[in-house]
Copies of this chain bind each other. A is one copy, B any other.
Amino acid sequence: MIYLDNAATTFPKPESVYNEVLNCMKNYGANPGRAGHKLALQAGRVIYETRENLCKLFNIRNPMNIIFTYNATDSLNLAIKGFLNSGDHVITTSMEHNSVIRPIKALEKIGVENTIVNCDKYGQLNVEDIKKAIKPNTKLIVTTHASNVCGTLIDIESIGKIAREMGITYLVDAAQTAGVYDIDVEKMNIDMLALPGHKGLLGPQGTGILYIKDGIDLRHLKEGGTGSKSEELTQPHILPDRYESGTPNTPGIAGLNEGVKFILKEGIDKIRKHEEELTEYFIKELEKIESVKIYGPKDVKKQCSVVSINILDEDSSEISYILDSVFDIATRSGLHCAPLAHKTLGTFEQGTVRFSIGYFNTKKDIDKAIQALKVIDSQIK
C-alpha cells in the first residue's frame, strides 16, 4: 500500500510513538492528576512533558496554556463557541474545513454574525480582504494555515499583524501544517492555535490541542471532574483544568509526545524540505499528464504537501477507487469536508482526488502514483 492520505492522518508513525503508547498502557496506564500513587504520577508527568514539548515547537511560554482535546474539531469548537457571544462578528475564509464553518454557521442562531472572505480560484487569500471585512463588532478572525483540499498556504503572519493592530483575537487552524511549518505564536500574533495530534505532529488519533493565550477567557463547553477543586460544584478556573474534564487519552498523549520529540530531533526544516521536494516533483510530473487537471497554486512555496487533481471530468471517487483497488494507492476523493473550498476551486460537483504527502513517503511512492495516473490517463482517453 502506498499511503498518500496523510492530510487525514499521517501514516505510519515513528516507531517511538507505537512503543510509547504500548509502554503507557502496559506500565503506567492510570489516571493522571487524580491519585497520588506512582502510576498516576508517571501518567501526569508524561502529559506535562508533552505540554512542554509542544511549547518548544510553537514558542508557547506556559505549558498550562496547552489544552488537550479529542481532536482539532473539538479544539475549534471550544475556541469558536467558547469565545463568541451574541452580537459579535467573526471573519473567516472560503477555504475553511467544516470544523470551522459549521460551528460558525451554528452560531448564527444565537446572533453571531459572520463574513466568509472569498479566496481566488487557486485558494489564495488576499489578506487585504480580511482587513476590509472588519467591522466595529468583529471579535474574532479564524483562518486555516493551509487548505486541506489543495494545500494553498495562507499568510497567517500578515493576518496576525492586522488582528493585533485592530485588537481582534486571531485563531489559527493548523491542521495541515503543524509539525511541518514553522509556527511561532508570539511572532505571528496567534491568540489561539488549534491542532490535531494525529497529522503532522505524528501522534495517534484521539488527540487534539488548543493553545489559548493568557488573558483569553473562554466559556467551557463541558464541565466535569478535573481532579482539582473537587469540593466545588462549579468548574474550576485554573488552566488547563478548566477546559479538560474527565480522564484524558493518556496513551494517545504519551504517543503524541514521542511524535513531537521526533519532530524536534529531526528538525522541522528537514521535514518540510523533504515534503516540499516530493510535492514539487509530484506536481512537475503531474503536469506532464494530459488528462490531469491540478488545483491550487502549483508552487511549493505557496502550498503544503496536499495536491488535488481530477482526470478530465471523471468522478473523483471513481479515480480514487481505481487507485486503491488496482494500484494499491490510498488517496481521498470527494469534498474533504470543505464544501466552500470546492466552490472556490470550481470543483463542488466533481470533488477532487487528493494526494497528501507525509514525511515517510519516498520518491518511489510518487513515481508509483505518477505511473498509475499515466495508466489511467492512457485508458481513459
CB closest chain-B residue, reference A9: B31
Instruction: Point out which of A5, A69, A248 has the most chain B C-beta atoms below 10 A from its C-beta.
Output: A5
Give me 22 A-to-B residue pairs in the complex whose CB atoms sit less than 8 angstroms apart, sorted by A's number: A3-B30, A5-B39, A8-B35, A9-B29, A11-B29, A25-B204, A35-B331, A38-B324, A70-B206, A70-B249, A98-B226, A98-B233, A99-B223, A102-B233, A106-B234, A206-B252, A221-B222, A225-B338, A230-B334, A230-B336, A231-B335, A249-B252
Chain B residue nearest in CB terms to A337: B225
Among candidates B8, B11, B227, residue contacting A247 with C-beta atoms closer than 8 Å:
B8
Distance in angstroms between the alpha carbons of A249 and B73 in the assembled complex: 13
- Contact residues in B for A332 (Cβ distance below 8 Å): 34-37, 40
Contact A37 B99 (CB under 8 A): no
A292 to chain B, nearest CB (A): 19
- Most chain B beta-carbon neighbours within 10 Å: one of A39, A247, A333: A247
Q: Are A230 and B29 in contact (CB under 8 A)?
A: no
Q: Is the CB of B70 within 8 A of A246?
A: yes
Residues in B neighbouring A205, C-beta threshold 8 A? 29, 31, 247-252
User: What residues make up the interface of A, taking CB atoms closer than 8 Å to B?
Assistant: 1, 3, 5, 8-9, 11-13, 17-18, 21-22, 25-26, 29-31, 34-40, 69-74, 76-77, 97-99, 101-103, 105-106, 196, 198, 204-208, 221-227, 230-235, 245-252, 255, 317, 320-321, 323-324, 328-340, 348
What residue in chain B is nearest A38 (Cβ atoms)?
A: B324
Q: Are B222 and A74 in contact (CB under 8 A)?
A: yes
If A39-B330, A332-B34 touch, whether A73 touches B245 (CB-CB below 8 Å) is: yes
Q: Are B11 and A73 in contact (CB under 8 A)?
A: no
Shortest beta-carbon distance, A148 to chain B, in Å?
Answer: 9
A324 to B35, CA, bound (A): 10
Q: Would A5 and B37 be within 8 Å (CB), given that A73-B224, A348-B231 are in contact?
A: yes
Chain B residue contacts of A8, Cβ below 8 A: 30-31, 34-35, 40, 247
Is B71 touching A247 in the complex (CB atoms < 8 A)? yes
The answer to whether A36 and B317 have CB atoms under 8 Å apart is yes
- A18, B13: Cβ atoms closer than 8 Å: no
Which of B1, B11, B38, B102 is within 8 Å of A1, CB to CB? B38
Question: How long is the Cα–Cα vector from A99 to B34 in the complex, in angstroms?
Answer: 14
Interface centre among A11, A13, A205, A227 (most CB of B within 10 A): A205
- Complex alpha-carbon distance, A323 and B40, angstroms: 14
Question: What are the residues of chain B within 8 A of A25 when measuring CB–CB?
Answer: 13, 17-18, 21, 204, 255
How many whole Å from A107's CB to the nearest CB in chain B?
A: 9
Q: Distance in Å from the Cβ of A69 to the closest Cβ of chain B? A: 8
Contact B233 A339 (CB under 8 A): yes
6 further A-B contacts with Cβ under 8 Å, apart from A105-B234, A232-B339, are A12-B29, A40-B332, A99-B223, A103-B222, A105-B233, A207-B249
Cβ of A103: which chain B residues have Cβ within 8 Å of it? Answer: 222-224
**Cross-interface CB contact of A22 among B22, B36, B336, cutoff 8 Å:** B22
Cβ-closest 5 pairs across A and B: A206-B249, A73-B246, A225-B337, A102-B223, A73-B224
* The one of B26, B73, B98 that contacts A12, using a Cβ cutoff of 8 Å: B26
| Set of chain B residues within 8 Å of A30, measured between Cβ atoms | 3, 5, 8-9, 11, 330
Docked pose: A105 CA to B196 CA in angstroms: 31
Residues of B with C-beta under 8 A to A35: 5, 8, 320, 330-333
In angstroms, Cα B137 to Cα A59, docked, is 51
Contacting residues, chain B, for A330 (C-beta < 8 A): 30, 35, 37-40
| Contact among B12, B106, B231, B251 for A223, CB-based, below 8 A | B106
